[in-house]
A = this chain, B = another copy of it.
Amino acid sequence: MVSEDEFIKTFLKPLAEKTEGSLGLLDDAAILPRTPGKDIIISKDILHADQHFYKEDDPANIAHKALATNLSDIAAKGATPICFMLGIAFPKAPDEQWLKGFIKGLEAISSQYSCHLLGGDTTGTKGPLSLSITIFGEVDAGKMVKRSGAKPGDHLYLSGSVGDAALGFLLKSNELGIKPSDLRFEPDVNNWPLNDEQQTELLESYLRPTPRVELAEALKNHASAAMDVSDGLMTDLPKLCAASACGADVELARIPFSEPAKIVFAAQKAEQDELRNLCLCWGDDYEILSAISPENAENFETEAGLQGIIVQKIGNFTAPGQGIRLLDETGKPHQHKPLNFSHF
């Protein structure tokens, strides 16, 4: 068992050594680094055990995911991450092995993206483990990519693919013997014909999402609006459209799904529609949805490609009265049954 003092001094302090303003985690407060000519962009994501991750998950993965979800928000705004504040509440004094894993995971992702610990708060809780991160990024003054800038006629772009995290979650739940609530179908997980590599691909998408930090520059240069997909493509797109006062047409055939996802769809043909719907509405994708004007599209694709990120045009922004439409192969609106996702 590790005490609060020891946790701060032995485990957290080394992570704060690269941020001068952290004052060695010895103070009540921290000083935010400033770069002249830059705006400071802030985002906050809270994660609770058995709500956003399973308490049985590898602690390194829990730490990775907590920072990754926040890095994703900063990237979607065209900004570069600089540092973060960590709040952590433990249900009981944490075990040293667990903490070592957690810190190792946090250290790895914070080093990878040069986004270091600035400060925070630690406490106990009568509830499950909970994490609260406030992240800071910077972007040239006035250049943050907002949700509100999309215009009718802009192309709708998506990075990577969606749905892998939802399927990974089903795999993980099955492994733990937990039956997810709110599903409208029975996922036949044990009969999905996936090899080990494909299973790992889906699990990793859920457990260790990759934030699209390298896409920020191309977004800043070319996007009129953007947001990250944390609650599902068809849940988040309406939010982008509402903020921009636009409608959008999404072409189902253009939505990128991974190879393992396609295998799962084919294996459960009768439930294919529900499975695909889950992949479009469940979330945890941390891909980036953006509005790119037609004249910027080629440069956006090129710059993203140079960072090793595939971006795919999946539709268009339309006039506000048009609503959000998911079009099938024939161009007809597809019967889409949203999951009506709410965190509470």
Interface residues of A (CB under 8 A from B): 3-5, 23, 26-32, 34, 39-52, 73-74, 76-77, 79, 85, 87, 89-94, 118-128, 130, 132, 134, 136-137, 144, 146-148, 227-228, 239, 242-243, 342-344
A51 to chain B: which residues have CB within 8 Å?
89, 123-126
Contacts A74-B29, A146-B27; A44 near B121 (Cβ below 8 A): yes
A125 to chain B: which residues have CB within 8 Å?
48, 51, 127-128, 130
Contact B344 A73 (CB under 8 A): no
CB distance from A66 to the nearest CB of B (A): 12
Q: Which of A27, A34, A40, A45 has the most CB of B within 10 A?
A: A27
A87 to chain B: which residues have CB within 8 Å?
44, 46, 87, 132
CB distance from A82 to the nearest CB of B (A): 12
CB distance from A138 to the nearest CB of B (A): 10
Contacts A46-B87, A118-B42; A92 near B344 (Cβ below 8 A): yes
Give the CA-CA distance A79 to B28 in the complex, in Å.
12
Contact A243 B124 (CB under 8 A): no
CB distance from A238 to the nearest CB of B (A): 11
